[in-house]
């Protein structure tokens, strides 16, 4: 039986709730399959649909086709771009129809956003190690690479071992070429450019965590692409976020009536999108291209739009 709720003697579906979309970072165009997790997705025979809403009109909306029902808490959504569409926006799930209990749509949140994967970065580190001690194909070479990656993970914020791919280990003393790949699982992750900028800064600091690693402590030089510093700055690598941003403190709902909530949202979104403070997700400042979307989601929640109607009734 479909979940139902009774409102003024009418029957309607409980609104679907999307709690997680994976992966969150995807290629810009083409075809990708997302896993949508949450609740109230109905039964196998129920009516439902899902889209990726790019936020710029009907042409930016991409329908899930097919949308595969896994269960009441999980769906599989395949998205394919056409023309100028890109795989960037908010995933929205609708359960029911106007003629069948009333259509109910999920609310946007930070967890429902999908963004384009940032560019990976190729780096190079020269280490004062005798390459003869780590011959190719040896257990010593395997351990050297593993320790090198472990040192990077320990020293650099926001990078995981799965994002680091060592592409070559050459003589001279030892030159390690490696790639920092983007993390597809979270929009909040640091970009490869931000991680590379941190790597370069720590390599130049003899007291840094990188320079005290068991392997990376021997770094005598690094090669970083010239565009990394600019890209990292554009991504907000040097930006900071306060615990309570001013666009929250200056724009609080006086009450939870529709008028005051709307006034709060208009104020909050404007100050967030145009003010000096860069909004953050998980403590990490967002990329410039996603600022408006994150501001809108944060301000919707701040101004009470995520509070159940039954609860709002007692708060207004």
What's the confidence (pLDDT) of residue 294? Answer: 81
Q: DSSP letter string over 52-111?
A: EE-SSSGGGEEE-SSEEEEETTEEEEEEE--TT--S-EEEEEEEEETTEEEEEEPPP-GG
Higher pLDDT, 227 or 149: 149
Residue spans per domain, the chain: 4-116, 121-234, 246-315
Show the beta-strand stretches assigned E in 146-255: 164-171, 174-180, 219-223
Across the strands, what pairs with 92? 51
Q: Which CATH superfamily includes the segment(s) 4-116?
A: Immunoglobulins (2.60.40.10)
Tell me the average pLDDT of the chain.
85
Q: What is the pLDDT of residues 266-302, one digit of tens each?
A: 999 999 988 877 777 655 566 677 788 888 888 988 8
Q: What is the pLDDT of residues 85-104, one digit of tens each?
A: 999 999 999 998 766 556 88
pTM (2 d.p.): 0.62
| Band of pLDDT at residue 315, cut at 50, 70 and 90 | low
């Amino acid at each position: 039986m479909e979940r139902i709720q009774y409102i003024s003697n009418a029957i309607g579906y409980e609104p679907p709730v999307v709690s997680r979309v994976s992966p969150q970072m995807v290629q810009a165009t083409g075809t990708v399959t997302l896993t949508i997790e949450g609740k109230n997705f109905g039964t196998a025979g129920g009516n439902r649909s899902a889209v990726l809403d790019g936020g710029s009109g009907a042409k930016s909306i991409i329908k899930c086709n097919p949308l595969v029902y896994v269960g009441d808490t999980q769906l599989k959504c395949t998205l394919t771009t056409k023309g100028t569409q890109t795989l960037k926006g908010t995933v929205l799930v609708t359960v029911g129809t106007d003629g069948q209990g009333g259509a109910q749509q999920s609310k946007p949140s930070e967890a429902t956003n999908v963004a384009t994967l940032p560019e990976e970065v190729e780096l190079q580190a020269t280490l004062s190690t005798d390459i003869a001690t780590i011959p190719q194909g040896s257990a010593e070479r395997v351990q050297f690479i593993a320790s090198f990656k472990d040192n990077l993970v320990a020293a650099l914020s926001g990078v995981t071992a799965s994002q680091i791919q060592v592409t070559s280990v050459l003589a001279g003393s030892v030159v390690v070429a490696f790639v920092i790949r983007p993390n597809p699982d979270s929009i909040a992750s640091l970009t490869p450019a931000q991680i590379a900028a941190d790597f370069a800064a720590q390599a130049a600091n003899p007291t840094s965590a990188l320079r005290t690693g068991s392997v990376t402590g021997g770094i005598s030089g690094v090669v970083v692409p010239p565009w990394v510093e600019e890209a990292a700055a554009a991504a907000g690598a040097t930006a900071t976020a306060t615990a309570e941003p001013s666009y929250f403190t200056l724009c609080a709902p006086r009450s939870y009536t529709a008028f005051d909530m709307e006034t709060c949202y208009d104020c909050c979104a404007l100050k967030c999108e145009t003010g000096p403070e860069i909004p953050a997700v998980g403590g990490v400042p967002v990329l410039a291209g996603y600022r408006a979307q994150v501001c809108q989601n944060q301000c919707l929640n701040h101004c009470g739009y995520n509070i159940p109607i039954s609860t709002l009734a007692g708060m207004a």
